[in-house]
């Protein structure tokens, strides 16, 4: 029956639940089931409820476990036992590195090594996709589906849900209109919406680019602080304006504005990373301490939009070799890399150096 939510819709519902602090039920093979809630949005009352059900653990990524000096027996994650004395502040301190330097000793922490971590891995993936800290409090329950029905909770089956977290959702153009701009009166804005209920992405078309020739293009990740507030901590704002200006000068181009704030971790986590940077960590180290990888973005979205608009080849405005490689892998020819070296300040010199040294940016 079409009225029943499919797995994409259930995942969207689960992300919304986790952001509000509502638990979700995850079911796996051989009848195993767990109740999972995001550590970031957990409340004292719900922590007590989880404890009443059994022995909860907090699942953190391998990156976060490395900072905590916790053994990650599962490789990419660790299942940290929550001791009986631990309160909500203890749980959230394990998930959030904000006070790591003030209180470096969180342990010793004991981690599980027996049994499957598949449902814990799914729980972490859900918190990541919800733009929350990648940490979840998890406790085993019997008859997961029955538990979900009895308590009005979203229930996800691992075999159906896990593959979708690693896939990008198909994008569809939902609106487009003429947009005169400072750099060109011949502007047009296209809005693309993913099927999974995620954030929309935009394509700004300058002039009337010839679809049969390589188009001057840029994949620009949203940066509220740089693009809107004029932040001096990054070079994003100058890159955005510089790319648009060059397209205006040439009379044609397309800028893809992808809503992947903070290298794909969201604005709140980006601000947490900035706080860590103020403590002396570089941008990559800050991401790792939060539990993220160096870069969580999916540049394939840009390729999808370009193909939808009818482009087959680009002259790519970028300093990032990962974007060039992605374009080539996904069938968009990169005939030329156009450097975009703008916006260096005393405040972001170290940030740019880290991008060059650790992420291979061609600066």
Q: Mean pLDDT per 10-residue run, the chain (363 residues)? A: 89 97 95 96 97 97 95 96 94 93 80 96 97 98 96 97 90 97 96 95 97 96 95 91 95 97 95 94 94 93 96 94 91 93 66 61 59
Calpha distance 339→177 (Å, rounded): 30
Q: Is 297 a catalytic residue?
A: yes
What is the distance of C-alpha 145 from the center of its chain?
29
Please state at what angle helix 321-329 crosses helix 300-309, rounded to 10 degrees: 50
Q: Which of 17, 282, 295, 304 is catalytic?
A: 295
pLDDT in tens, 285-321: 999 999 999 999 999 999 999 999 999 999 999 988 8
What does each C-alpha distance from 191 to 167, 171, 201, 305 come to in angstroms?
21, 10, 6, 10
Q: Is 171 annotated as a binding residue?
A: no
Calpha distance 179→186 (Å, rounded): 7
Calpha distance 353→362 (Å, rounded): 10
Q: Is 270 annotated as a binding residue?
A: no
Alpha helix stretches (DSSP H) within 113-155: 118-129, 144-151
Domains recognised in the chain with CATH numbers: 7-162 (3.90.870.10), 171-260+297-359 (3.40.50.10990)
358: left (phi over 0), alpha (psi -120 to 50) or beta: alpha
Task: Please tell me the pTM assigned to this model.
Answer: 0.91
Strand, coil or helix: what is 160?
Answer: helix
Strand, coil or helix: what is 111?
Answer: strand
Calpha distance 106→97 (Å, rounded): 11
Q: Which of 212, 297, 298, 300 is catalytic?
A: 297
Q: Is 323 annotated as a binding residue?
A: yes
Q: Is 295 a catalytic residue?
A: yes
pLDDT for 107:
75
Cis peptide, bond prior to residue 108, ω within 30 of zero: yes
Q: Is 233 annotated as a binding residue?
A: no
Q: Is 221 annotated as a binding residue?
A: yes
pLDDT for 65:
96
- Sign of the dihedral through C-alpha 172, 207, 261, 19: negative
């Amino acid at each position: 029956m079409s009225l029943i939510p499919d797995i994409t819709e259930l995942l969207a519902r689960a992300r919304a639940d986790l952001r509000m602090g509502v638990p979700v039920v995850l079911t796996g093979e051989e009848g195993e089931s767990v109740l999972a809630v995001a550590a970031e949005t957990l409340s004292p009352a719900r922590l007590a409820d989880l404890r009443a059900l059994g022995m909860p653990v907090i699942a953190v990524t391998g990156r976060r476990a490395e900072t905590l000096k916790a053994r990650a027996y599962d490789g990419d994650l660790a299942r940290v036992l929550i001791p009986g004395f631990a309160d909500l502040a203890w749980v959230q301190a394990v998930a959030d590195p904000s006070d790591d330097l003030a209180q470096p000793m969180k342990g010793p922490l004991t981690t599980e090594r027996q049994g499957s971590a598949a449902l814990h891995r799914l729980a972490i993936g859900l918190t990541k996709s919800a733009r929350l800290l990648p940490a979840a409090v998890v406790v085993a329950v019997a008859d997961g589906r029955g538990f979900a029905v009895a308590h009005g909770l979203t229930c996800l089956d691992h075999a159906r849900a896990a593959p979708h977290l690693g896939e990008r959702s198909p994008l569809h153009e939902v609106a487009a209109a003429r947009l005169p701009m400072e750099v060109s009166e011949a502007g047009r804005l296209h809005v693309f919406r993913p099927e999974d209920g995620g954030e929309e992405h935009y394509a700004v078309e300058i002039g009337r680019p010839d679809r049969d020739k390589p188009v001057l293009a840029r994949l620009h990740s949203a940066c509220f602080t740089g693009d809107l507030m004029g932040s001096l901590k990054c070079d994003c704002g100058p890159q955005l304006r510089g790319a648009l200006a060059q397209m205006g000068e040439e009379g044609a181009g397309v800028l893809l504005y992808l809503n992947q704030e903070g290298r794909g971790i969201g604005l709140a986590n980006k601000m947490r990373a900035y706080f860590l940077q103020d403590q002396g960590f570089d941008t990559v180290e800050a991401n790792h301490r939060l539990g993220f990888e160096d870069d969580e973005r999916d540049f394939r979205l840009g390729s999808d939009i370009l193909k939808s608009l009818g482009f087959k080849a680009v002259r790519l405005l970028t300093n990032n070799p990962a974007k060039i490689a992605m374009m080539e892998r996904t069938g968009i020819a990169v005939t030329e890399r156009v450097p975009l070296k703008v916006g260096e300040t005393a405040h972001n010199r170290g940030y740019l150096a880290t991008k060059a040294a650790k992420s291979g940016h061609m600066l």
